[in-house]
Structure 1
């Protein structure tokens, strides 16, 4: 008998009717002879609704209380899921993140998992029942033994599922979502985006970091570190979806020079203009950002210099981190010595993901030429062997994605696939 961890996102359980359908799917997996652990996200837009409520009572909610509030969404959906499974004649038991043994660091809003103690989940499985766990949340235990509810940040339910799969030594972690699997680009904006049957951890991690919403980046990192295979599939069909695994599956995985295009419109850009050319000050700027635990996704030392001979430094980070970073930088402005501080609430980020990109000089040239031909204003571009990332105006992001996807023939069914280590 194999053990499968199944995670269902908010769109999969957006109504009680959908909860019942998911329960039927879970029960069918159990009746097929598998032990099953289910991880659920909050129903539909519950998290956004709770955030709106918080904003109505406080302009800046206390992070600890915000975590307590937001964790309620998943507890509602996992209790309903357990009820629906029981109604189908199969025993089930629901658990909060804390009850399931998800221990985390103390950071509110984006706590990282430090340990998983799934004893109660394992006992439930041993009794022949299905364990239903609230995703996105855990508990921090301080030195005095006091517990505090924490949340894992956006996409945290994916990480919950993978962490439980690792701790329980599961055979497979399935992530159910509203698309059929991992595509070469977002199929909602690229009509000929191609579904990939297999993707390696490295490519999937870069796609996730670069904005592909199908898997949370931290969940991919966790899976890769522990070698847990992850299957991404639709909760609305029986299609097999996309398998995410390691290099051991290279004979079956898709390893083309260019694997896909990801985009992200949820970033903001802060630019410090006229920064004194000192490595110590540059390091201090990054320390200020790190001090408020903001997620810095991209930094650029601008090649254009001011009249005083000082460079500009641009920082790209999640939109929610923009205001606190601005405040922190202004508070340290005397020490940092920059001339001006500019802020763009939205910036477009498009990334080309693949393998051995730097060994193919034509790739970078094609990237730049294609954006120019599409009328996309290229603000800056960075390169690595597995990812080329360009910044552009947010309103031109869709054009940039479509242009790169077409330029590299990612939607064409005859796209050549090079299998790692075979030369084919």
Structure 2
């Protein structure tokens, strides 16, 4: 007998029919003698509906009241799922974040979990009940309702699994696991049986939307076995685990990640003097804009061209900030390009294999794709290219590193 924490996202509980389907799935685990804690999101579209209601009232809603409003979505789901389980003869009890005592800090709309009181849940589990918990929410020390930010239900599930010392945390979604790349771009993309926390964290940060980054960080920190499964079809899914529990001969590359939401800015002709990077990026950081890749080129005339990337939504804001910075520094001009994309190869196997980066560059060159920027780490290589070549690049790299499903069946 095992203890499973299962999380079902908004698509999985988007209608009453799908909630009934989730109840059937949970019941099979109970019938097999397992203990189950279920974490659910709001029904698909409900959070956006609630945001729309707030927007209809004010364009600057109070963060505390937004948390009170948005937390109601999950409350509907936990009640309906508990009813569906009870109808099937499964004893079940629903809990809001407050009732569980998922205690967070007081950073409304983006709170972080500090500790969880598991006493009530453990009593219910010993009594043979399914515990149904509202994801995405908690309560601060003052009793205020808080929320964990978009995708926070994943983090709730992992945190509960860590606190309860669950055998596995299962994330049910609309895909049947983690793939070598997006199957919508590469037809022969292959579902991975296993991937390390480190690889998954890179994949999530580089554009893969399967799991929320914070949940992967949490799982890695507390060594919570994490499995991604489909709510709509049976299958083993993908297990996310520690590197030493991974197979001995890891593939060199586990996956290809990409992100279309990138924009590039360059400050040309900046004086090559100490502190210039700080003078450029300081105002950008002060505007609460995150910078990703950075490249600095020094010319013979003691000037430098300073290039970096940001999220495309921040492109126009950064241009305005940089125009003032460039004037102060006496730079020649500011150039921007919002038609770029980032493509990355990820794999713990590249630690012990030389020539991975050069193979990536050769593959792109063979397709006549120009590389504009490069960034590397121990387990990834990222490049910035023109967005129009994104899908061609992903397909070429996927084939070059033999990630295709057909390659595995030879």
- Superposition TM-score, scaled by structure 1 size: 0.84
The unaligned stretches of length 5 or more in structure 1 are 417-424
CA distance in 1, matches of 2:118, 2:103: 10
Structure 1, residues 24-79: CA drift from partner, whole Å, max 9, x if none? 11122112111111011221222333334444444454444433333232222222
Is residue 254 of structure 2 the alignment partner of residue 259 of structure 1?
yes
Partner of 1:90: 90
Partner of 1:28: 28
Partner of 1:302: 296
CA distance in 2, matches of 1:58, 1:166: 39
Change (3 A) 1:75 1:186: same
Partner of 1:422: none
CA distance in 2, matches of 1:114, 1:342: 43
Change (3 A) 1:377 1:167: same
Partner of 2:185: 189
Is residue 218 of structure 2 the alignment partner of residue 225 of structure 1?
no
Instruction: Please point out which of 393, 396, 404 is paired with 1:400.
Output: 393
Is residue 384 of structure 2 the alignment partner of residue 388 of structure 1?
no
CA distance in 2, matches of 1:182, 1:408: 17
Say whether the 8 Å CA contact 1:104–1:113 is kept in structure 2: yes
| Matching of residues 291-330 of structure 1 within 5 Å | 294-296=289-291, 298-303=292-297, 309-317=303-311, 319=312
Instruction: Please point out which of 327, 344, 348 is paired with 1:351.
Output: 344
Change (3 A) 1:6 1:342: farther
Change (3 A) 1:103 1:348: farther
Q: What is the total number of aligned residue pairs between the two structures?
A: 409
CA shift at 1:194, angstroms? 1.1
Give secondary structure in 1 for the equivalent of 2:153. helix
Say whether the 8 Å CA contact 2:297–2:304 is kept in structure 1: no
Deviates more, 1:49-58 or 1:170-179: 49-58
Partner of 1:379: 372
Say whether the 8 Å CA contact 1:12–1:235 is kept in structure 2: yes
CA shift at 1:183, angstroms? 1.2
Say whether the 8 Å CA contact 1:358–1:384 is kept in structure 2: no
Change (3 A) 1:118 1:324: farther
Partner of 2:172: 176
Instruction: Please point out which of 183, 187, 195 is paired with 1:199.
Output: 195
Change (3 A) 1:278 1:84: farther
Structure 1, residues 193-233: CA drift from partner, whole Å, max 9, x if none? 11111112222222222122222222112111111111111
CA distance in 1, matches of 2:300, 2:47: 44
Deviates more, 1:234-243 or 1:102-111: 102-111
Deviates more, 1:117-126 or 1:357-366: 357-366
Give secondary structure in 2 for the equivalent of 1:98. helix
Partner of 2:48: 48
